[in-house]
Amino acid sequence: MSEQSYSADARVVILGAGHAGGSAAAFLRQYGFAGPIVLIGDEPHAPYQRPPLSKAWLKGEADAASLMLKPAAFYTDQNVELRLSVAATAIDRAKKTVGLSDGNTIDYDILIIATGARARRLPIPGADLYGVLELRNADDAEKLKHAIGPGKRLAVVGGGYVGLEVAASGRALGAEAVVIEREARVLARVACPTLSNFFQDYHRAKGVEFELDAAVDAFVGDEGHVTGVRLADGRVIACDAAVVGVGAIPNDEIAGTAGLALDGGIVVDEAARTSDPAIFAVGDVTRRPLPLYARMHRLESVPNALEQAKQVASAITGRKAPAPEVPWFWSDQYDLKLQIAGIPFDADSIVVRGQPDSAKFAVFHLKGDRLLAVEAVNSPPEFMAGKMLIGNGKAVDAEKLANDTVSMKEVAA
Amino acid sequence: MAKITYIEFNGTEHVIDVKPGLSVMEGAVKNNVPGIDGDCGGACACATCHVYVDDAWRDKVGTAEELEKSMLEFAESVEENSRLSCQIVVSDALDGLVVRMPESQH
Ligand SMILES: Cc1cc2nc3c(=O)[nH]c(=O)nc-3n(C[C@H](O)[C@H](O)[C@H](O)COP(=O)(O)OP(=O)(O)OC[C@H]3O[C@@H](n4cnc5c(N)ncnc54)[C@H](O)[C@@H]3O)c2cc1C
C-alpha cells in the first residue's frame, strides 16, 4: 500500500494531453476513481498515438481517427474535462494551483505532469528555413507528409529509429532518401553494431543513401526554402526537405521552476511520484527507477507511458502497485518488425541467433548467464521468450540460445 | 454495428457496439473496457490484448496466423481458444461475439 492516501473526491489535474496523460485519465476511471479529472494540453488535439506518425499514418495506411487514443465520446462519457490549446505555465505548490496560458488558474489536489519531450533542434545556420522539419507531433507529421512524394528528395538528419522509419516511409511513397548520421553507424546510441549494419544494408537495398561520420554544419537554402544540407567536409547534400531527428529533450522546465527534483527529466519513484507527494509525473518527461536494472533511466516509449499511467492510477486509488515490467519497444520499417526488450546496461557478451542475411534473427545481450536485452528482427518467439527471461532472471544457456534449431520454448524452460 | 461482449477475469461484462472494420482490441480500448491493454496499438508486437474466444464463436472467428501464433506461444495462461484481439477484425458476422479476458496481460 502507498504511504500516502488520497481522498476519493480529490481533484486530479493532468498537464499534457499525450499518450501518458490520456492513459492516466483512462486508468483512473477504469480503477474506479470518481473525482474530477481535468486534462490540459497545449496541442489542439485530444490525446493521440505518435508511433504511426512515422509509420502507417505517414505512408497513408492509417487515418486520423485511428490515431486517436480514445474517441471523443470517451471524454464526455467518462467525465474527463479536456482543455485543449492551453499550456500550463507555472505550478504554485504552496497554493496547489497551476497557471495557464489563457490567463486562468486551476486548483488541484493531485497533479500529474505528463508534458512529454520535444525534438532537439540543431543550433546551426539555416535551421529556420522552410522545409527543415522535425517529427514530434501531428502537425509536424502533416508538414512532413506534404514534403515527401514521388521525385522528392528527403534528407534525414539523425539515424535513430524515427529517422529510419521516416526514410522507409519516404521510400514507400516514392521519395528519395538520404540519412545523415554523425556517428559511424546508424542507431549508434540504441542498438548493437550487428543490428546497425543489418539496418544500413537493408535500407541501402531499398535505395536509401547514407552519409555516416558526417557532421552537419548548416542547412542551405534558396529564397527561404531549404535546398541542401552542408556537411563539415564542405559537401552539400541536395534535398527538397530535411527532417531532423537527433533526440528529444524532456519538457521538465515547469517542474524545475516549481522546485521539483530534476535529473535530465523529473525524478520519480516506483509509483511515479515526484519529490512532492501531491505531484506525480509520467511518460517521456520522467527519470524513473528500473527495478530490474537497479538504476534510474529516462525511457521514451509507449509501454513506459502506459506502465507509469497504471502506477499513478494505482497509487491514487489505493490499488496494489502493478508488477514492474520489462521495458520494451518496437519499430516497423518496410516488411521488418523489430521488437526490443530490456536494456543492455553492462552486458559482457552477445549471442546472435539466426542469420541476419535472412532478415530473421535476434541479438541477445547477456551479463554472465543472465539475459539483459534482446533485439529481435522478424522473430516474435525470440522477443517474447527473451522478455520473459529478462523478467524472471533465469540462467540462460548461451549455446542453446545461439542454436536456432533449439526452440525458444526449450531455451526458456 | 456488431455487439461484442467482453468479460473481465472477475466476471464483469461489458456489452459494446463495435463498428465493423475495427479490431476486437480497438473496440475494447476505445471504450475503456478494462483488461485489454493493446500497448502496441495493434501491430501484433506485444501480446497485451490476449482474449479467450467463446467456444460457440471459434469457427466464425477463425484461427491465428503464423506471427500471432508465435506471439501467443509465450503469452501467459494460453488456452486452445486464445487469440490476440488486435488480429480479429469485427464484421457483421461477428455480431454477438463473446470474449473473455485472462487474469493479466503481462
Ligand atoms: C514519430 C514518433 C514515433 C514513435 N514511435 C514509437 C514506437 O514505435 N514505439 C514506442 O513505444 N514509442 C514510440 N514513440 C514514442 C512515444 O510516442 C512516446 O514515448 C509517448 O508519446 C510518450 O507519451 P507522453 O505522454 O510522455 O508524451 P507525449 O505523447 O509527447 O505527450 C505530451 C503532451 O504534453 C503537451 N505539453 C507539453 N508541455 C505542455 C504544457 N506546459 N502544457 C500543456 N501541455 C503540454 C505536448 O504538446 C504533448 O501533447 C514515437 C514517438 C514519435 C514522435
ipTM: 0.90
Given A228, A244, A260, which residue is the final one in a domain?
A244
Residue A298 in contact with ligand 1 by CB distance below 6 A: no
Q: Which residues pair with A341 in a beta bridge?
A: A328, A374
Given A208, A225, A244, which residue is the final one in a domain?
A244
Is residue A330 less than 8 Å (CB to CB) from chain B? Answer: yes
Q: Record the cell numbers describing residue A247, joined without a space.
A: 533526440
Distance (Å) of CA A99 to CA A5, A14, A276, A377, A412: 26, 13, 18, 46, 52
Same domain, yes or no: A44 and A98: yes
Give nearest CA residue, ligand 1 atom 29: A18
Count of pairs with CB atoms under 8 A, one residue in A, one in B: 60
Residue labelled with grid coordinates 463495435 = B18
- CA closest to B39 among chain A residues: A303
Closest by alpha carbon to A364, among A350, A354, A377, A378? A350
Answer yes or no: do B74 and A325 touch at CB < 8 A.
no
Instruction: Evaluate whether residue A178 is within a structural domain.
Output: yes
pLDDT in tens, A113-130: 999 999 999 999 999 999
In this structure, what CATH number is given to the domain that contains residue A265?
Answer: 3.50.50.60
Q: Record the cell numbers describing residue B10, joined without a space.
A: 472477475
In this structure, what CATH number is given to the domain that contains residue A348?
Answer: 3.30.390.30
Q: What is the DSSP letter of A276?
A: S
| Element (DSSP H or E) covering residue A370 | strand A370-377
Answer yes or no: do A332 and B43 touch at CB < 8 A.
yes
Same domain, yes or no: A138 and A235: yes
Same domain, yes or no: A253 and A113: yes
Residues of A in contact with B46 (CB under 8 A): 303, 328, 330
**Cβ contact A157:A229 at 8 Å:** yes
Is residue B30 less than 8 Å (CB to CB) from chain A? Answer: yes
Same domain, yes or no: A313 and A346: no
Looking at residue B7, its amino acid is I
Instruction: Evaluate whether residue A4 is within a structural domain.
Output: no
Q: What is the DSSP letter of A130?
A: B
pLDDT in tens, A126-142: 999 999 999 999 999 99
How high is the mean pLDDT of chain B? Answer: 94
Is residue B75 less than 8 Å (CB to CB) from chain A? Answer: yes
Answer yes or no: do B75 and A30 touch at CB < 8 A.
no
| Element (DSSP H or E) covering residue A238 | strand A236-238
Instruction: Evaluate whether residue A5 is within a structural domain.
Output: no
Q: Count of H helices and E strands in chain B?
A: 3, 5
Probe residue for ligand 1, chosen from A15, A115, A143, A338 as the CB with the greatest number of ligand atoms within 8 Å: A115
Tell me how crowded residue A98 is: count the other CB atoms within 10 A of its CB: 23
Residue A2's pLDDT is: 43
**Cβ contact A352:A402 at 8 Å:** yes
Residue labelled with grid coordinates 544457456 = A397
User: What dihedral angle (degrees, nearest 10) is formed by the CA atoms of A195, A246, A127, A121?
Assistant: 180
pLDDT in tens, B26-58: 999 999 999 998 888 888 888 999 999 999 999
Instruction: Evaluate whether residue A3 is within a structural domain.
Output: no
Residues of B in contact with A52 (CB under 8 A): 41
Given A215, A244, A273, which residue is the final one in a domain?
A244
Same domain, yes or no: A360 and A404: yes
Same domain, yes or no: A254 and A355: no
Q: How many domains does chain A have?
A: 3
- DSSP E strands in chain B: the ranges are 2-7, 13-18, 50-53, 82-84, 98-100
For the residues of A279-347, what is the DSSP string, one character each? EEE-GGGEEEEEGGGTEEE---SHHHHHHHHHHHHHHHHTPPPPPPPPPEEEEEETTEEEEEEE--TT-
**Cβ contact B43:B71 at 8 Å:** no
Sign of CA pseudo-dihedral A188, A189, A194, A197: negative
Residue A4's pLDDT is: 61
Q: Record the cell numbers describing residue A174, joined without a space.
A: 516514392
Q: Record the cell numbers describing residue B103, joined without a space.
A: 487474469
Closest by alpha carbon to A52, among A144, A130, A157? A144
Instruction: Evaluate whether residue A330 is within a structural domain.
Output: no
**Cβ contact A205:A199 at 8 Å:** no
Tell me how crowded residue A374 is: count the other CB atoms within 10 A of its CB: 29
Same domain, yes or no: A216 and A154: yes
Same domain, yes or no: A139 and A227: yes
Same domain, yes or no: A61 and A150: no
Region B6-30: mean pLDDT is 95
Cα distance between residue A28 and residue A26, in whole Å: 5
Q: Which domain holds residue A391?
A: 335-412
State how far Cα A126 lies from the chain centre: 27
**Cβ contact A328:A312 at 8 Å:** no
Residue A88 in contact with ligand 1 by CB distance below 6 A: yes
Q: Record the cell numbers describing residue A99, joined without a space.
A: 497557471
Same domain, yes or no: A358 and A377: yes
Distance (Å) of CA B49 to CA A78, A315, A324, B105: 22, 24, 18, 7
Residue B105's pLDDT is: 85
**Cβ contact A109:A276 at 8 Å:** no
Instruction: Evaluate whether residue A286 is within a structural domain.
Output: yes
Cα distance between residue B71 and residue A380, in whole Å: 6
How many angstroms separate the alpha carbon of residue A118 from the centre of ligand 1?
Answer: 8
Instruction: Evaluate whether residue A123 is within a structural domain.
Output: no
Cα distance between residue A219 and residue A239, in whole Å: 10
Same domain, yes or no: A80 and A152: no
Give nearest CA residue, ligand 1 atom 12: A301
Instruction: Evaluate whether residue A2 is within a structural domain.
Output: no
Q: 10-residue block means of pLDDT along chain A (413 residues)?
A: 69 98 97 96 97 94 91 95 98 98 98 98 97 97 94 97 96 96 95 95 98 98 97 98 97 98 98 97 98 96 96 96 93 93 95 96 97 96 95 96 95 93
Closest by alpha carbon to B52, among B25, B89, B81? B81
Is residue B21 less than 8 Å (CB to CB) from chain A? Answer: no
Same domain, yes or no: A309 and A285: yes
